[in-house]
Amino acid sequence: MAKPQVVVAPVLMSKLSANAPEFYPSGYSNFTEPYEDGVEDYPTLSEYVQDFLNHLTEQPGSFETEIDQFAETLNGWVTTDDALQELVELVYQQATSIPNFSYMGARLCNYLSHHLTISSQSGNFRQLLLQRCRTEYELRDQAAKGDEAARKRFHAFVLFLGELYLKLEIKGTNGQVTRADILQAGLRELLNALFANPVDDNLICAVKLLKLTGSVLEDAWKEKGKTDMEEVIQRIENVVLDAHCSRDVKQMLLKLVELRSSNWGRVHVTSTYREATPENDPNYFMNEPTFYTSDGVPFTAADPDYQEKYQELLEREDLFADYEENGTDLSGAGDPYLDDLDDEMDPEIEEAYEKFCLESERKQKQ
């Protein structure tokens, strides 16, 4: 059954006229055309939101300059439970179905959670968004065991939840800003589902998630006295030893273990997420994930040209596009994990793998 069309009150129509310059963020084209009799056709909420989402997908750099107007327009339009539910679903679908929109989608969700004024009987924007994510989360075991299409959808959800964990800010009663504990727990269970079904694409998704969130997750777990990251690393070691995954994926997993052993590439770990600031911690930005350019050069949010480099990263071909297309080729050009792979293991990798196996056997005998 089609969702009911959102009706805008007449008093708002004058403000939301498709011809009014304040209706669209700068750079927008008017997609409505007048009827033959001269009466204008006004867009629905769905059309307006989808148009803006598509605009952000094509021009992510416009977020900073146009998000205020977008939120202001929504506050005059999203005034019912149904409208809020529709908005949440539109943003969720864009973030989990459009390649490279998960980061932007998480930023958008954080902004709307703090700037939308409506709080319906069902909850506010953030609460409804988390409810929508939970619906997908409950299907994790089934999705991880599903066919290729089901797993691909599941992986998009997993990476969006990772971005959401990093970007969604929860303000406490005393004004302190924290991350959502419910997402932290959810990511742990999603990793369990991926490792419990160790086919190549599930393991690739797990590596991507840990490269994205590993440092932040480990800090949060340590702060609570938990050893979850140790358990995750143990799962990875078991997969390397026992699972029938490809050689390339095993090398990726070993590289991830190596990255974690170097404290995720950071100088040192700050005491807590809340206490660290750019003023009192010279490595503040190192709490953010480490990314790599097409040349394999690492960069973080501390770099002056971070936005430009990250945008280039988003625009690059997906890291494992070739694998997803034909299921065999994993040697994506420019990736430091997969560059220069010959038919045999590199001597350095082979030596590291042998040491890893010997160390694992020693631990099992103890």
pLDDT at 355: 67
Q: CA 355, CA 360: separation in Å to the nearest integer?
A: 9
Provide mean pLDDT across the span 134-163. 96
First-to-last alpha carbon distance for the chain, in angstroms, is 62
pLDDT confidence of residue 145: 96
**In this predicted model, which residue has the larger pLDDT, 40 or 361?**
361
Task: Give the pLDDT mean for 327-351.
Answer: 49
Residue type, 24: Y
Q: Where are the domains of the chain?
A: 45-265
Question: Domain 45-265, what architecture?
Answer: Alpha Horseshoe (1.25)
Average pLDDT over residues 34-47: 63
CA atoms within 13 A on the CB side of 278: 4
Look at residues 245, 274, 257 and name the one whose alpha carbon lies nearest to residue 214: 257
Q: Report pLDDT digits (tens) over 249-272.
A: 999 999 999 999 999 988 754 545
The Cα–Cα gap between 139 and 143 comes to 6
pLDDT digits (tens, 9 = 90+) for 55-114: 999 999 999 999 999 999 999 999 999 999 999 999 999 999 998 899 999 999 999 999
> Can you spell out the DSSP letters for 265-313?
G-S---S-TTT--TTT-TTGGGGSPPEE-TTS-EE-TTSTTHHHHHHHH
pTM above 0.75, yes or no: no
What pLDDT score was predicted for residue 176?
Answer: 85
Please give the structure tokens belonging to residue 4.
């009911």
